[in-house]
Amino acid sequence: MPSYPHDLPPCPPPTESYLPSFWLSEPSHLENERSTAALPDTSDIVIVGSGITGSLLAYQLLQGDPGLKITMLEAREVCSGATARNGGQCKTDPYIVYRAHKALYGPELANELIKFETSHLDRFAALLAKDPIECSFHVTTAFDVCMNAAMAEKAKASYDARKTDWPEDMKKYRELDDSEELERLSGVKGGLWGCMYRVGSIWPYKLATGLLKRCFEIATDRAKGGWFNLQTRTPASTITYSADIGKWTIETSRGNIVAPRVVVATNGYTSHLIPDMSNKVVPIRGTASSLHVPKAQAAGTPSNKIFRPLFTSYALKFGSGMGDYMISRQEGGKEVVLGGAKQGYIKDPKNWYGKVDDSEYLPGAVDYFTEYMPKHFVNWPDPTSNIDKVWTGILGYSSDLLPYVGQHPSQPPGLYVIAGFHGHGMSRIFGSTTALAALMLETASLTASPELQTNILLSAGLPKPYVFTKKRMESKENIILESMGHTSQPKQADPEEPLVDKIGEGMTKIVVAS
């Protein structure tokens, strides 16, 4: 496995401006929320980040203990980061990673990792049945379509391997190995092999902001001394531990707040606040778009050559790290949300690796999305795709391809990390926040042994490879570029150049006070 010769620098903070996404077209009343005019001086827990990770975690913590005092910090408007820029899919890869996981972890754990991800559709369904939030959640059908022989061979081999080892778990997936049937059912041109199964689509921004609204209601309704305080446009710059009081100080643009427990839920921006994770969670720029569906497509026609209307979800696979994903908005079938476009920029890591600027388009993205639908879907009535918006988002890619969940194993107690979802957040975050909330609600766990903390996380259903351990922290392995089809690493800065203390460039460090 390739590894970097030295660490990457900590990433800078979020840019002040950004490209607007489709999901931000209906802003929440919490968009610029500041629950109090001034930042609280203290809090039981500070959560940095208001996306789906932070909102789910706050919701679960308050459900478990409504007496908690929780403060949430957001650098820009509420939920304006990756959650408001993803593809709206609640979907995983239920077979393609199986052989790789099996080689690393054995068949049982490989299957558990996939089942953990596929469980998220039911997790979201159960949550929204219990606590209705209007977020356009729908259960639908997905088509995975392999677009060349090499990808088809790889996908089928992994599909067959999981089916051989776990036949009962694979009964819910239908293989489509006849190219004509694949085209007839999916409407995708030129696919060589595919799979059909149940997934979900969602308006992720509305889900996150709906959960935050519920956090306020829980804290108010139960009136047990707790509160929820959301502070937008309050970027955190440093987090510092004071051993004499056993608490963390979070420095922000509007003052400081002190808490015994801090959760960094900023995913791709993790190393901005925790510099020693700069080679653990790397910011990766991705892109997505919203397209208008032509009237003939939206209404449906008698043709049997396409699955009409396009109320389905797609993954078109072109090679390692190169795939596009798409959902069709259920409300009238008038919009398609399409993401990927890696073929246009993946060859040059300088365009996307370690980058956090979501205010500019990725090279070739607009043209790629413009040509996409008529190129890949049969009977598309227009010569181009009808683009509404194209945007850029910052993903958090993990060095070993799996998330980091738990207390930071190499820092003082009370610093929690939940990050590195590697572009699969909607099928990894819910179960991860459930486990982290269980750990944090065990008050004795703050200074508990790593073994006890691991047991709490595993008992709450977290897969063992997700646990943030000292071994994972000390590993120099980084296979992100390899997973994206690159065989060489990008040129890094001079190893003699200092990588911290550059506060003026947005780089920070944790300081452990004596």
Average pLDDT over every residue of 147-174: 97
The predicted structure's pLDDT at residue 226: 78
d(CA 488, CA 304): 46
Residue 324 forms beta bridges with which residues? 316
Tens digits of residue pLDDT in 435-455: 999 999 997 889 999 999 999
Residue 403 has φ and ψ, to the nearest 5°, of: -65, 160
Whether 460 has a pLDDT exceeding 60, the answer reads yes
Residue 56, pLDDT score = 98
Q: What SS3 string covers 375-441? A: HHECCCCCCCCEEEEEEEEEEEEECCCCCEEEECCCCCCCEEEEECCCCCHHHCHHHHHHHHHHHHH
Assign 31 a pLDDT band (cuts: 50, 70, 90): very high
Structure-block tokens of residue 195: 């799979």
Q: Give the type of residue at 23.
A: W
- Does 456 or 491 have the greater pLDDT score? 456
What percent of the chain is predicted at pLDDT more than 90?
Answer: 77
**263-319 pLDDT per residue, tens:** 999 999 999 999 999 999 999 999 999 998 876 655 554 444 444 446 789 999 998
- Judged by average pLDDT, the poorest of 283-292, 427-436, 472-481, 496-505 is 496-505
∠ CA 412-263-428, rounded to 5°:
120
